[in-house]
Each structure stands twice: as C-alpha cells, then as structure tokens.
C-alpha cells in the first residue's frame, strides 16, 4: 500500500526545505499555488502543511502566511547540561549578555534550596542567553558565594560548569526541574526581542554536584517559539 497523498506532499515540501529551496524565515508559496502544483485539493495540501507545522518545520503566522520555522533548541531532560553544551548539541553558537552580577544576601528560599549556613552570601546574576545571536532565554542564577570565591567573573559567566570541573574538580550530577507556562512581561519581552504577553516556558532548576551538594538555583524563561523540552523515559 502506498503512502497517503498528503504524506508524499509532506515529504516533498520537507525535501525542498532541507535542500535549501526555502530557507529559515522564508515564506513558502500560497496554499492555492501549492495545491495546483501538486494537482491536489487544498484540503489535502493543508494536511501536509499541518503535519510540518506540528513537527516544528513550518510555522503559520496569522495574516501573513506560512514560513520555514527556525528549529527549536531542544533539551533532553536527563542529568545536568549547561546552556553552552545544549547550544553546541543543537549546532548553534552560544553566547550570553550579563545584565547584573553581584554578591548579596540570599532569600529564605535560596537558603533552603542551596542548604546554606547562617551568614552565607550568594552570587546572583541575570543573563540573556543566545543561540546564533537569537535570544533563547532570560535567566536568574543563584550560586553559593563560597563556591566561586576563586573564580573570576569571566570564568563564571562564560562557562560556569567547565570552570567548576577544571579549577575545582567538581562535577555536576543531577538536577530537579519544575516547568510551567507564563507570559512575557514588558521587561522580559524587551530582553528577548518578543512582544509583551508572548508565551514563555518558565523553569526552576536546582542542580546538584555528584557528591549530592546543591550548587546552583536557576529561574529561566525560555521563548516558547524557540525552545522545547524533550522527556525521555
């Protein structure tokens, strides 16, 4: 039995994208034009396009048409992976812009989460994280000050996990993550180059070293159209 017609059209449209006939951000031909070129009904053509939209290969923009989507960065939720490693695995160039970076008194939640002793300070930093110069997320990271007292600001902001391993012989182990949906505030929308009210994925992550000590508590807001989580069981 042969493949349904819409699957064959799906495959051809996908091949056009993979071969570079249509590039990321480019608008594809109108449904009427494509239906005529494949000699099928618009309903059949829409099935093929919807399948590609569901796969994240195409995206519909109300009032504008259908465009080749910028593939979302994926994070497989197992173990602890740095943002840099995640971007590299997705074939994107990672970079960051630090908004704030200072030592401060931790909140009660941070004291509890990071199991801090009385009088301890934390480093709290805000950053915008990019993949190929496109904003992916805004994060607020809290780290015990004692852990990074021998690290420079550059070492912490450029690749904290790598610095931990190379300079302190400390290795990330596992993480506990909580994910929810939210909408962008005016401030976050400006940072992430989106509109106020756009959908965001909000994640709180508490990361532990291999010896079981918590070492980083992070709140991150990901642009919903540029990022997705992948669960493995």
Task: Sketch the domain layout of the chain as residue ranges.
Answer: 5-68, 73-230
Nearest to 110, CA basis, from 144, 76, 138, 137: 144
- Collapsing DSSP to helix, strand or coil, 5 comes out as helix
The yes or no reply on domain 5-68 and CATH 1.10.10.10 is yes
CA angle at 79 for the pair 150 and 70, rounded to the nearest 5°: 100
pLDDT value of position 1: 46
User: CA 135 to CA 54: how far, in whole Å?
Assistant: 23
Q: How many CA atoms lie within 13 A of 209 on its CB side?
A: 18
pLDDT value of position 72: 56
Q: List helix spans (H) across the chain.
A: 5-18, 31-38, 42-54, 83-89, 108-114, 153-168, 186-192
CATH architecture for segment(s) 73-230: 3-Layer(aba) Sandwich (3.40)
pLDDT value of position 71: 66
- Of residues 130 and 2, more confidence is placed in 130
Q: pTM of the predicted model, to two decimals?
A: 0.65
4: pLDDT confidence band, cut at 50, 70 and 90? confident
Determine the average pLDDT of the residues in 23-32: 93
């Amino acid at each position: 039995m042969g493949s349904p017609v819409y699957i064959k059209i799906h495959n051809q449209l996908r091949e056009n994208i993979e071969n570079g006939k249509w590039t990321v951000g480019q608008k594809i031909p109108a449904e009427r034009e494509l239906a005529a070129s494949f000699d099928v009904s618009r309903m059949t053509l829409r099935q093929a396009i919807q399948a590609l939209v569901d796969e994240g290969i195409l995206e519909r923009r109300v009032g504008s048409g259908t465009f080749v989507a910028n593939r979302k960065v994926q994070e497989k939720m197992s173990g602890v992976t740095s943002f840099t490693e995640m971007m590299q695995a997705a074939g994107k160039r990672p970079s960051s812009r630090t908004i704030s970076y200072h030592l401060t008194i931790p909140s009660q939640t941070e004291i509890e989460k990071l199991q801090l002793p009385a009088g301890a300070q934390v480093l709290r930093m805000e950053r915008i994280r990019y993949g190929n110069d496109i904003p992916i997320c805004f994060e607020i990271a809290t780290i015990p000050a004692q852990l990074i007292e021998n690290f420079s600001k550059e070492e912490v902001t450029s690749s904290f996990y790598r610095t931990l391993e190379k300079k302190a012989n400390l290795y990330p182990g596992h993480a506990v993550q909580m994910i929810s949906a939210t909408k962008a505030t005016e401030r976050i929308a400006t940072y992430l180059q989106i509109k106020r009210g756009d959908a965001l994925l909000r994640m709180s992550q508490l990361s532990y070293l291999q010896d079981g000590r918590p070492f980083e508590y992070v709140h991150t807001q990901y642009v919903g159209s540029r990022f997705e989580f992948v669960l493995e069981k």
